[in-house]
Amino acid sequence: MKISGFSFVRDGVSLYYPVAESIRSVLPVVDEFVVAVGRSSPGDSTRETIAAIGDPKVRILDTEWDTKHFLRGAVNAIQTDIARAACSGDWLIYLQADEVIHEKYLPVIRDRMVELLDDRRVDALLFRFRHFWGDYAHCMDSHAWYSREIRAVRNDPAIHSWHSAQSFRRFDHYEHPHQTSGTRKLRVADVDAEVFHYGWVRPPRLMQGKNRALRSVHAGPEQAAREYDSRPAMFQFGPLDDVPRFTGTHPAVMQQRIAAMDWQEDLRESTLAYPPGETPKHLRFKYRLLSWIERKCFGCEQVFGSKNYRRVRRLPHQSP
């Protein structure tokens, strides 16, 4: 059995993505790691940082991001597919540039892939997610955040990245990542492993820059400029007292980055009022209510809302 890893990134270093840590976190369990690196802005060192990992398993594909696909995040799915198509493994582990796997889960992931290699009922593996907020000590448990997502797929040319590259679907005839007709949800098996998502752990100033960049690939650079030129330079994380504290351990590859954190003092400003229309989803009444119901009645299992997968039942050693 051969395992590939794949990802995509652009301006990762200047926007404070832990892209090198993300790649390094799965290198012990993959036979290759393919990353599509878009042409970055002047002064960004993302490509050099990835090359400096110095592992022959890592293969960089230099790409250009076409602005005509800067709508609803389509460019993210297209770049994901460029990397996926270059993989040669039986199973493909997908990590976005702000997602990291704890080393304790690597044997679990490999064992699950071996176990299900010949079970063609299963298209993909479903991972649990931990979403960190503001710093490395607070972790979301809100309905506003997806609790599980597909992060490993079979090497099947009919499987493509879908929408803004959050997930995958099987396409009967692939035309565009946002098409809905002719697509099918993947059949998944749970794997007893977590993805640590650090997308909302940045200095507040860089967090606002990242949000602007994300808005740009979803609505176009002009719309992003209209929205963000008038916003505060510092992102407001809100009251961290309302966010559960994380008491576990972080992946070993993250330790140096965590030790270098220097914006704790800036989080004191996060108690300021949010500008109109900018309150984070997890603080809105709808999501607070749904989160309370799920915690009290369903053991924090996310039961409301849509899921972009179909679980295959009666599989051996399926995690809860």
- Look at residue 89 and tell me if it is in a domain: yes
Q: What tokens appear for 62 in the block?
A: 């230099």
Along the chain (320 residues), what's the average pLDDT of each consecutive run of 10 residues? Answer: 98 97 98 97 96 98 94 95 98 98 98 97 97 95 81 98 95 91 96 97 93 92 90 85 91 98 82 61 62 59 75 69
Which pLDDT score, from 0 to 100, does residue 284 have?
67
In the three-class reduction of DSSP (H, G, I as helix; E, B as strand; rest coil), residue 313 is classed as coil
Which pLDDT score, from 0 to 100, does residue 314 have?
76
How far apart are alpha carbons 15 and 36 in whole angstroms? 17
Which pLDDT score, from 0 to 100, does residue 308 have?
92
- Look at residue 29 and tell me if it is in a domain: yes
Q: What tokens appear for 194 in the block?
A: 């977590």
Please state the φ and ψ torsions of residue 65, each to the nearest 5 degrees.
-95, 120
Which pLDDT score, from 0 to 100, does residue 257 have?
97
- Look at residue 68 and tell me if it is in a domain: yes
Q: How many domains does the chain have?
A: 1
- Look at residue 264 and tell me if it is in a domain: no
Which pLDDT score, from 0 to 100, does residue 293 have?
62
- Look at residue 195 and tell me if it is in a domain: yes
Which pLDDT score, from 0 to 100, does residue 207 have?
93
How far apart are alpha carbons 139 and 149 in whole angstroms? 17
Which pLDDT score, from 0 to 100, does residue 320 have?
45
> How many C-beta atoms surround the C-beta of residue 68 within 10 A?
9
Residues in the chain: 320
| pLDDT digit string, tens, across residues 278-311 | 667 666 656 666 555 666 565 556 665 668 999 9
Which pLDDT score, from 0 to 100, does residue 265 have?
87
**Look-up of token digits 């309302």:** 242
- The boundaries of the domain holding residue 150 are 3-200
- Look at residue 208 and tell me if it is in a domain: no
- Look at residue 309 and tell me if it is in a domain: no
The CATH number for 26's domain is: 3.90.550.10
- Look at residue 281 and tell me if it is in a domain: no
Distances (CA, A) of 77 to 18, 62, 165: 20, 16, 4
Q: What tokens appear for 188 in the block?
A: 């998944």
